[in-house]
Amino acid sequence: MWRKLLKYTEFAKCLYRVEVKNGQKASFWHETWSPLGCLRDILREGSYIDMGIPLNATVDASRMHRRRHHRVVILNKVEDEIEKYRASFVNEEDVSLWKNEKGQYKTKFSTGETWQVIREKHLPCHWYKEVWFKYATPKYSFILWVAMKSRLATGDHMRHWNGSVDSSCVLCKEPLETIWSIFSLSVLILLKFGGS
């Protein structure tokens, strides 16, 4: 379970940011506090040495930082962000912000909204009530559901898995068995024997 959670760390970084007020809680290198993103991810290894800001520093520590001019353009942009922070310094606690499904950052974390952001969305299935209903036989409902999703092991599917397999229909002797040939045959059988 822990390994699965670790796989989502990069994605989770996109969902979290910090609104810097006094900068005493926000990590300078490891949290997203500026429009540039997480500085640890966008800058090369050793940039903390070039900047003169330790790896474990908070954003507040950058207030004592003396501006430097760098050859690397991105480092000069970081220096600009530090200047912006100094100009907008407020003596309040930093605010953690969480992204919701509308793309807005909110101060309150919601498990439901986070699930809506990370889940894979599909078009709603409007015909599920015709398959899954109160008195349905589960075996037949399952087969119908698999058929509607075009996942039955019919001749046309088996031919893709193995070219030498016999893909003809065993019931009607059609050269290629498809889901629709099976259903049309079953409808004909129902019409013939259902009326008697």
* The pLDDT value given to residue 157: 81
Q: How far apart are CA 117 and CA 99, in angstroms?
A: 8
* The pLDDT value given to residue 165: 83
First to last CA, the chain: 58
Reduce the DSSP state of residue 99 to 3 states and report it.
Answer: strand
Q: How far apart are CA 39 and CA 59, in angstroms?
A: 11
Q: How far apart are CA 62 and CA 83, in angstroms?
A: 9
* The pLDDT value given to residue 117: 86
CA torsion sign, 8 to 9 to 10 to 12? Answer: positive
* The pLDDT value given to residue 194: 65
Give tens-digit pLDDT for 71-112: 888 888 988 988 888 888 888 899 999 998 888 899 998 888
Give tens-digit pLDDT for 18-45: 999 888 888 998 889 988 888 888 888 8
